[in-house]
Amino acid sequence: MSDRRIADLVADLQLKANQFLQLANAQLAPSTVAVTVTWRSGPEQAVAKAHGLSNASPGESPHNCTMADGTPAARAFDWGVFNPDGSYVTDGNDPRYQECGFIIKGLGLSWGGDWAHPDYDHAELVDWRDA
């Protein structure tokens, strides 16, 4: 199963993910925002693609990045918005995802909601292949 540990993000993205959570949760209260995916293994990425959760094949996703020794160092994270009752907001067109997108971009990250095929709950380093 894909993990959601912020520690599995590359170091500079760990800081930005924590800043995002702090800002988003303050702005969207009483709704909450939580990281749902950080690092994925190659086989997990293949499953995500097969289920339509990603357009990327294994090794082509910022979620698959590792350090030279194989330690996870993802360059992207996904999040979810949750209603006050704890239910997951699945509609990416919900204004709360747009607000999260503004926060993501304000932190200097790329927001998947701006893509031709939007991925409203995705943030990644702008030049993640070079990080």
Q: Is 67 helix (H, G, I), strand (E, B) or coil?
A: coil
Q: What are the φ and ψ backbone dihedral angles of 71, each rounded to 5 degrees? A: -65, 135
Q: Is 104 exposed, middle or buried (0-12, 13-18, 19+ CB in 10 A)?
A: buried
- Give the pLDDT band (50/70/90) at residue 1: very low
Contacts of 11 (CB under 8 A, 6+ apart): none
Q: What distance in Å separates the CA atoms of residue 57 and residue 36, rounded to the nearest whole number?
A: 19
**Cβ neighbour number for residue 88 with a 10 Å cutoff:** 10
How many whole angstroms separate alpha carbon 9 and alpha carbon 5? Answer: 8
pLDDT over 90 (residue 99): yes
Provide the pLDDT for residue 128: 87
Q: Please tell me the predicted confidence (pLDDT) of residue 131.
A: 64
pLDDT in tens, 58-74: 888 999 999 999 899 99
Instruction: Please give the pLDDT value at position 118.
Output: 93
Domains detected in the chain: 6-130 (3.30.1380.10)
Question: What's residue 30's pLDDT?
Answer: 97
